[in-house]
Amino acid sequence: MTNPVSRREFLNLLGAYGGTSTVLQAGAALGFMPSSQAAEIALQANNGKKVAILGTGISALTTAWELTKAGYDCTVLEASHRPGGRMFTVRSGTVIDEIGNYQRCEWDNDPHLYFNAGAARIPSIHSNVLKYCKELEVELQVFVNESKTAWVQDDAINGGKPVRNTDYSSSMQGFISEMLSKALGDSHLDSSLTESESETLLSMLRSFGDLNEDMLYKGSTRAGYGTGGFLDHGTTKDVIALRDLLKTQLARNVMVTTQEGTGSGPLLMQPVGGMDRIIYAFANRLGNRIKFRSPVTEVMVKDDGVEVAYEQNGVTEVLKADYCFNCIPSHLMSGIPNNFPAEYSEALNYIRRGKAYKAAFQAKERFWEKEGIYGGISWVNAPTQQIWYPPHNIHGKKGVVLAAYNFGGANYTEMSQEDRIEDLLKHGEKVHPNYREMAEKPITVAWHRMNHMLGCAPRWARNRGGWSDKEEQMYETLRQPVNGRHYLIGDQSTQHSAWMESAIQSAHYALADLDQRVRSEPA
């Protein structure tokens, strides 16, 4: 089945090979692992200052927790009935407060059966998330982000039947190695490398791709065995031809095992029992400082503080504070009267709201384990995109399967609940024939329509090329407190949205600024 690739084909495929020297130059950065030391917070203590904190996303809770520890008088206002914003775990009894699509989760009441509808993974370099988990005694476990036995399904390959991740990735890895080793004979490439470097590279390629002595890929037992392997000699499985591998765009997902910006590869973590364990660890300690069902109705920055109007039980209250930390999504602040400067409002209105969508169901049985899958992700060329299998409670009775995760949201927001469910079942049963039969009580979360959120991770840059100068400028505008009193926090106030670590660091950044101000005030 192997279809050898000629050098010309290889070069055509790669488009250009002048990139090698670029890669070598980039190597100068090797060894500089992005450092992410947990912050040491040492705020001025017991100064009697009063602080209003708007929202209960993790940036707000971080702020409230640190300030409370230092003796500040904090009041936290939350519009919703629950804390956490996009750190939202669904389990038995949870209300999914989607506008126009109210749902109540009726899964079995079992601590293993939950669905992290927002944040779901903690990388090991997200030191500040981990620091709070440790400090607040939130028990963590390993999250399995990649399983080589999970599936890759695309109607364009293998007649639409799913292929094991390992069959796909071993073959792809083999061909990449084979092609690159052929290219090493090319004088242009050779001139960039010393003989010793070439040898090292070749040796790595042989191993990376599991090439034979002729530096060709003829299959690998890394994909498991075709036959035997234990009592008998193992044979390799058939190789999937390169051209067949290239029929699916899913390669870009399957071949990447490390989440962007997380540094830590397939090793990720999750709190035992759901991501909101972190939220409730903060919230329980903050106690009645948090006022739920208290939507903010006005934010007025004054010379000597901030006045925040909010409603509770139908009555408008005004909270007067020395400082205000605000993690209300920027697109909701557009609908809340305020007296922010024009350029601050312009920057707030510029940030677009992300449109992510997730869905999950309780599975009657852990059917994936019967297919040799324990955690990890199956990739599907459909708007549902991903199927996640729970890495915890292995061999338990039931489990919750994440049945869709579309970071762009596709058009799920506009679909009815019935259509969303049919969609996830339709695409899922191409991967697992008994999927429909196994799925109990599906839940869907379209962040664009979640009450008090109306969006997922904020989007700053409008061009794929990165942040424009104007965007950088607006970002800096929002990082400066209005009148030294009002701080915008949350992942909207960072350049790497969608991660808890970013949100926490935005709080730390604002806290450092606050601390400097209060210390410099005349006694």
Site residues (vs other proteins, CB under 8 A):
79-83, 89, 91-95, 97, 99-102, 104, 276-277, 279-280, 283-284, 290, 292-293, 295, 297-298, 314-315, 330-332, 334-337, 348-349, 353, 413-414, 416, 449, 451-452, 454
Residues 371 and 149 sit within 8 Å (Cβ to Cβ)? yes
Query: Measured from the CB atom, is 80 or 128 closer to other proteins?
Result: 80
Instruction: Walk across the sheet containing 296-301 and list its strands.
Output: 296-301, 306-312, 315-321
CA 77 – CA 293 distance, rounded (Å): 8
What DSSP state is assigned to residue 80? Answer: S
CA 423 – CA 334 distance, rounded (Å): 34
* Min CB(403)–other proteins separation in Å: 21
Query: Measured from the CB atom, is 55 or 219 closer to other proteins?
Result: 55
C-alpha closest to that of 336 among 300, 375, 384? 300
Query: Measured from the CB atom, is 144 or 333 closer to other proteins?
Result: 333
* Min CB(424)–other proteins separation in Å: 19
- Helices assigned H by DSSP within 70-194: 127-135, 165-183, 187-190
* Min CB(108)–other proteins separation in Å: 14
Question: What is the residue whose two structure tokens read 């549902």?
Answer: 384
* Min CB(367)–other proteins separation in Å: 28
* Min CB(117)–other proteins separation in Å: 13
CA 326 – CA 334 distance, rounded (Å): 13
CA 81 – CA 312 distance, rounded (Å): 12
Calculate ∠ Cα 104-107-109, nearest 5°: 110
Residues 374 and 147 sit within 8 Å (Cβ to Cβ)? yes
* Min CB(331)–other proteins separation in Å: 4
Residues 224 and 238 sit within 8 Å (Cβ to Cβ)? no
Cα separations in angstroms, 224 against 168, 170, 172, 270, 368: 12, 10, 15, 29, 17
Query: Measured from the CB atom, is 71 or 273 closer to other proteins?
Result: 273
Residues 76 and 291 sit within 8 Å (Cβ to Cβ)? yes
- Helices assigned H by DSSP within 255-334: 276-286, 330-333
Query: Measured from the CB atom, is 45 or 315 closer to other proteins?
Result: 315
* Min CB(273)–other proteins separation in Å: 10
Q: With left for phi above 0 and alpha for psi between -120 and 50, is residue 499 left, alpha or beta? A: beta
Query: Measured from the CB atom, is 427 or 448 closer to other proteins?
Result: 448
Query: Measured from the CB atom, is 10 or 115 closer to other proteins?
Result: 115
* Min CB(112)–other proteins separation in Å: 16
16 CB neighbour count, 10 Å cutoff: 7
* Min CB(314)–other proteins separation in Å: 4
Burial class (CB in 10 A: 0-12, 13-18, 19+), 261: middle
Identify each DSSP E strand in 134-287 by its residue range.
Answer: 140-144, 151-153, 163-164, 267-271
* Min CB(18)–other proteins separation in Å: 44
CA 63 – CA 78 distance, rounded (Å): 14
End-to-end Cα distance, the chain: 80
Beta bridge partners of 115: 90
* Min CB(451)–other proteins separation in Å: 6
* Min CB(58)–other proteins separation in Å: 15
Find the length of the chain: 523
Query: Measured from the CB atom, is 174 or 458 closer to other proteins?
Result: 458
- Pairing verdict, β 89-90 and 73-77: unpaired
